[in-house]
Structure 1
């Protein structure tokens, strides 16, 4: 699953009118500049800042101590990068250019496209389902593409958002088939009772690795996690801005 966030205030957005006495055109320009500035700031951030955000939003993040946090981030990033490098290295040996759709065909992955799926108060942009199906929610992705054009975010104008989502989900396909990957091996202790210790996998390791995989595979010069905010703006501005602030707070805390 990729780029999903709880819709706290989608309906409020449509009615989030400005004070009647203000100039609507001016307010729209201010809002335009705010979004553009926020996305451009996120595009400059290193991967570890987004990874930190993923760690903080993990369901069992309270069990992740500062001592192991950096290990989780670095190993997860490396995991995704190495899996992408294997694919790219193999293509280089065969003197073949990278084609994400050919890769999908070789893996036997089925791509299913649906307009949208906002069930259970979540916004979905893509999802991987065993044994080998990737579902793309085209309407949600299209709105992100429209925002890029409207706000003239030059770093993203030539980026195929559908392929970024696909690349991330391809990692989850690989992850499901290789239990030796770091993301499938690293477990954190939850509790202990006598000689028995109960451990659990982390969801953040998979998401961090998936984004690192997509970035390396597609040769992007920014973290695909930017889309966590970008693709959310057309649906829930308040939630998108909240996530932006959380990511930037992590950037400040790290530095």
Structure 2
């Protein structure tokens, strides 16, 4: 796929609505078949609201919407690493409790090289969007009663005993919209997941794009 086609893909991803992105996140979750379509939609809406409300809360608490300033005021340690691919896994960032956020430079370097993202985002904005997302994962550990930690589904029940689990997709959805609100980003940061992955495997990224388009 040539750059012009990449830019066409970017425009298409920027137009995808929030519910579609939520369903896409669910489609990649190991527990996707445990939740029916109606409940998925309800959970997606609540996760998006959770992300926005948590962003409002932390902006009020810190007096800023700048993710770097927020990280500093929360006492988080932010490291920038050169790597971006570990074995077959492409990693953009990692939050390690209690307060370490590591952002991988390589995916960002690849994305901005050649200017194919011009007009859609900047290097600084990419870093801030990624940082914002990881700050949400930190806040999940700090805020009692946060939706993405309290919403659980039953995996099994035997003789009065049951096993319930949180859903990773809900955390990812809320994290994306938390970061979107902080950064004033015009479309869902989910789009950047695919665009950043493109520079590692364009064929897989195109397949991901088609998956979203078919939802």
TM-score range, shorter chain: over 0.9
Query: How has the CA–CA distance of structure 1 residues 113 and 152 changed in structure 2, closer, same or farther, with 3 Å as cutoff?
Result: closer
**Which of 76, 79, 100 is equivalent to 1:109?**
76
Contact in 2 for aligned 1:36/1:153 (Cα 8 Å):
no
Match of 1:228 in 2: 193
Any residues of structure 2 matched to 1:79-90 within 5 Å, and which?
A: 79-90=50-61
TM-score, structure 2 as length reference: 0.93
> How far does the alpha carbon of each residue in 1:76-128 deviate from its partner, in whole angstroms, 9 at most, with x for none?
1111110001133446xxxx553322211111000111111422420111110
Deviation at 1:137, TM superposition (A): 0.7
Match of 1:67 in 2: 38
Query: How has the CA–CA distance of structure 1 residues 182 and 98 changed in structure 2, closer, same or farther, with 3 Å as cutoff?
Result: closer
**Which of 81, 102, 124 is equivalent to 2:91?**
124
| Pairs aligned (count) | 215
CA–CA separation in structure 2 for the residues paired with 1:212 and 1:114:
25
TM-score, structure 1 as length reference: 0.79
Pick 1 or 2: higher relative contact order, CA cutoff 8 A, min separation 6. 1
Moved over 6 A (4+): none
CA–CA separation in structure 1 for the residues paired with 2:29 and 2:40:
12
Question: What is the DSSP-based 3-state SS (H/G/I as helix, E as strand, rest coil) of the residue aligned with 1:111?
Answer: strand
Across the aligned residues of Structure 1 and Structure 2, the Cα RMSD in angstroms comes to 1.7
Unaligned segments of structure 2, at least 5 residues: none
